[in-house]
């Protein structure tokens, strides 16, 4: 690792601020012979590797195995779940991912043309940054990729209790006996499922009238019913106060105007631990962006154009901080474009069409394109095709009791959207993704031979129903 202790200005051809997905930009630039600086205080790999996708999915897989054992009698197999080595599960996950992050740092520290600064940077001028250590660096080109972090709302008393965000919840030594979760989005529902499977009593408080309210309403309602069978779910309430109790924490929540979920004006929900999972915010507050002429939107996300360039010349932004999509796969896609535009000067426009997403609850949820709620607002003509998992041969073989696929199709056959909740939804959605990305019509999908008796027949059946 090459760190300078002087206060003189160090000039680089490229400075990358943030070591998440954008570390690949720094790697590509250095490999192309550009003198490059990469600034990252925390572990390389960013949120996904260290505090998000990777650790959460490893933990959720253990939860899925535990639930499979508990449900084995449905298949005529007697089994018992005698114990769960929670600490061992977390330790194995942490060891595996830390090894990847440490290996990345070791590799980049020794890479030719690349200087790794384990520090925090803020802009002090045009493409000029100052590190916490006092050193100043400047890039002919700069990429801002500082990611996002959990949003913590201003709730009375919250600072006086030992609450968690997703960062801390992923690395507990043992599961709490009970857990109150503020928020009903994907982080809340994924971690709620994990902790419930580990033996924790989970209580979710959500301001909207249904969990995962940004999903297609049919999908959200299906999942909401499943979640209510696992957890105590209180929708239509927003947390307004938190206080410590002898047994943990107590949350006071007031009814909102977002739906019919609330039956009382005010409720209290108690638990041993509190998880705040109400959303994420861009890491832009301390960057001093205005000094560099970099504009943000009303939520604090960096504004970018079709080339991912910001309002400052020769400064680009990518990933969560840009806010185009807050997904790891969109960040990876943006990395490809930033490399081509920043390192190779190709001037390539980015195309976000057919951007999928997946939620790793149980069952999984995935979607691409428009939801029916969005199409209804646009007043466009379309047809809807649905197919339930339990009506398929593989669904019956797996004894699936929940889940369906939903295809939204324009009258000319254009696929407008596809949503799915059920077994392997994160895989099944990609048939629609490829079709939409390449202009394949719903008729062509429905006319494609799907192997029997795969779950893909559910996708086929939804499109057949739509056309």
Residue 14 and residue 145 in one domain: yes
Residue 430 and residue 459 in one domain: yes
Which whole number is the average pLDDT over 210-218? 97
In a domain, 431, yes or no: yes
Which has the higher per-residue pLDDT, 134 or 5?
134
Q: Out of 278, 312, 330, pick the residue that ends a domain.
A: 278
Report the distance separating Cα 458 and Cα 88, nearest Å: 37
In a domain, 413, yes or no: yes
Residue 141 and residue 170 in one domain: no
Q: Which of 151, 158, 212 is nearest to 180 (CA)?
A: 158
Q: How buried is residue 449: exposed, middle or buried, by Cβ count under 10 Å (0-12/13-18/19+)?
A: exposed
The continuous run of DSSP H or E covering 61 comes out as: helix 53-70
Q: Give residue-wise pLDDT tens across range 351-361.
A: 999 999 999 99
Number of domains within the chain: 3
Residue 310 sits at the vertex; the CA angle it makes with 305 and 312, to the nearest 5 degrees, is 135
How much is the pTM? 0.93
Q: Which of 253, 270, 275 is nearest to 187 (CA)?
A: 275
CATH number of the domain that 367 lies in? Answer: 3.30.390.30
Residue 84, C-beta contacts closer than 8 angstroms, at least 6 positions apart: 62, 66, 198, 199
Report the distance separating Cα 463 and Cα 183, nearest Å: 34
Residue 391 and residue 274 in one domain: no
Measured N-to-C along each axis, helices 217-228 and 186-197 cross at an angle, to the nearest 10 degrees, of 30
In a domain, 329, yes or no: yes
For the cut 80, the answer to whether the pLDDT of residue 381 exceeds it is yes
Strand 404-410, strand 415-422: pairing:
antiparallel
Q: How many other C-beta atoms can be found within 10 angstroms of the C-beta atom of residue 224?
A: 22
Report the distance separating Cα 113 and Cα 115, nearest Å: 7
In a domain, 218, yes or no: yes
Share of the chain above pLDDT 70, in %: 97
Which whole number is the average pLDDT over 168-182? 97
Report the distance separating Cα 110 and Cα 130, nearest Å: 23
Provide the pLDDT for residue 323.
Answer: 84
Q: Give residue-wise pLDDT tens across range 292-335.
A: 999 999 999 999 999 999 999 999 999 999 989 999 999 999 99
Per-residue CA distances from 64 to 6, 58, 71, 325, 361 (Å): 52, 10, 10, 28, 10
Q: How many other C-beta atoms can be found within 10 angstroms of the C-beta atom of residue 162?
A: 10
Residue 317 and residue 198 in one domain: no
CA atoms within 13 A on the CB side of 64: 14
Whether 224 sits among the annotated catalytic residues: the reply is no
For the cut 80, the answer to whether the pLDDT of residue 259 exceeds it is no
Going by the DSSP 8-state scheme, the letter that residue 290 receives in this structure is: G
Residue 136 and residue 224 in one domain: no
Asked whether 340 and 350 are in contact (CB, 8 A), the reply is: no
Residue 200 and residue 305 in one domain: no
Strand 178-182, strand 121-125: pairing:
unpaired
Provide the pLDDT for residue 378.
Answer: 87
Provide the pLDDT for residue 4.
Answer: 41
Residue 134 and residue 183 in one domain: no
Provide the pLDDT for residue 261.
Answer: 57
Residue 35 and residue 49 in one domain: yes
In a domain, 107, yes or no: yes
CATH number of the domain that 145 lies in? Answer: 3.50.50.60
Asked whether 186 and 219 are in contact (CB, 8 A), the reply is: no
Given the residues 224, 231, 402, 452, the one annotated as active site: 452
Supply the mean pLDDT for the chain.
Answer: 95
Residue 186 and residue 135 in one domain: no
In terms of residue numbers, what domain contains 377? Answer: 356-466
Report the distance separating Cα 31 and Cα 70, nearest Å: 51
For the cut 60, the answer to whether the pLDDT of residue 2 exceeds it is no
Residue 52 and residue 201 in one domain: no
Both tokens of residue 333? 């896609």
Which whole number is the average pLDDT over 335-344? 97
Q: Give residue-wise pLDDT tens across range 435-456.
A: 999 999 999 999 999 999 999 9
Report the distance separating Cα 192 and Cα 173, nearest Å: 17
Q: Give residue-wise pLDDT tens across range 35-91.
A: 999 999 999 998 888 888 999 999 999 999 999 999 999 999 999 999 999 999 999
In a domain, 348, yes or no: no
Report the distance separating Cα 342 and Cα 29, nearest Å: 8
Q: Out of 278, 300, 329, pick the residue that ends a domain.
A: 278
Q: Give residue-wise pLDDT tens across range 99-142.
A: 999 999 999 999 999 999 999 999 999 999 999 989 999 999 99
* Confidence band for 3, pLDDT divided at 50, 70 and 90: very low
Residue 24, C-beta contacts closer than 8 angstroms, at least 6 positions apart: 335, 339
In a domain, 251, yes or no: yes
In a domain, 458, yes or no: yes
Residue 143 and residue 27 in one domain: yes
Question: Cα-Cα-Cα-Cα dihedral of 188, 193, 195, 197, to 10°?
Answer: 180
Q: Out of 322, 343, 364, pick the residue that ends a domain.
A: 343
């Amino acid at each position: 690792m090459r760190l300078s202790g002087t206060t003189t200005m160090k000039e680089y051809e490229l400075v990358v601020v943030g070591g998440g997905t954008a570390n690949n930009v720094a790697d590509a630039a250095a490999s192309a012979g550009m003198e490059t600086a990469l600034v990252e205080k925390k572990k390389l790999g960013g949120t996904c590797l260290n505090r998000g996708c990777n650790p959460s999915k490893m933990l959720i897989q253990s939860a899925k195995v535990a639930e499979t054992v508990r449900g084995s009698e449905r298949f005529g197999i007697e089994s018992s779940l005698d114990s769960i080595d929670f600490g061992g599960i977390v330790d194995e996950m942490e060891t595996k991912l830390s090894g990847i992050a440490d290996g990345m740092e070791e590799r980049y520290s020794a890479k030719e043309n690349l200087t790794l600064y384990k520090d925090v940077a803020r802009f002090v001028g045009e493409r000029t940054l100052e590190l916490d250590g006092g050193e100043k660096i400047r890039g002919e080109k700069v990429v801002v990729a500082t990611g996002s972090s959990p949003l913590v709302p201003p709730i009375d008393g919250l600072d006086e209790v030992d609450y968690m965000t997703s960062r801390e919840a992923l690395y507990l030594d043992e599961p709490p006996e009970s857990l109150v979760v503020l928020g009903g989005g994907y982080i809340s529902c994924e971690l709620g499922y994990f902790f419930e499977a580990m033996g924790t009593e989970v209580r979710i408080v959500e301001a909207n009238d249904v969990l995962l309210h940004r999903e297609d309403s049919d999908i959200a309602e299906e999942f909401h019913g499943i979640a209510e069978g696992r957890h105590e779910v209180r929708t239509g309430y927003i947390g307004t106060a938190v206080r410590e109790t002898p047994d943990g924490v107590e949350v006071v929540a007031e009814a909102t105007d977002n739906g019919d979920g609330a039956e009382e004006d005010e409720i209290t929900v108690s638990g041993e631990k509190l998880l705040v999972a109400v959303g994420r915010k861009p890491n832009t507050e301390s960057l001093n962006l205005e000094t560099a002429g970099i504009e943000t939107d009303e939520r604090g996300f960096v504004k970018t154009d079709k080339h991912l360039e910001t309002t400052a010349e020769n400064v680009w932004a990518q990933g969560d901080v840009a806010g185009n999509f807050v997904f790891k796969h969109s960040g990876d896609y943006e990395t490809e474009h930033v490399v081509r535009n920043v390192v190779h000067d190709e001037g390539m426009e980015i195309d976000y069409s057919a951007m999928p997403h997946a939620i790793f609850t149980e069952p999984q949820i995935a979607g691409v394109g428009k939801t029916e709620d969005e199409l209804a607002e646009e007043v466009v003509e379309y047809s809807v095709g649905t197919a339930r998992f339990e009506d398929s041969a593989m669904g019956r073989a797996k004894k699936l009791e929940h889940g369906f696929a939903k295809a939204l199709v324009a009258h000319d056959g254009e696929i407008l959207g596809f949503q799915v909740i059920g077994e392997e939804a994160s895989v099944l959605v990609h048939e629609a993704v490829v079709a939409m990305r390449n202009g394949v019509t719903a008729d062509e999908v429905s006319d494609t031979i799907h192997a029997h008796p795969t779950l893909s027949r559910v996708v086929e059946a939804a499109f057949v129903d739509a056309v």
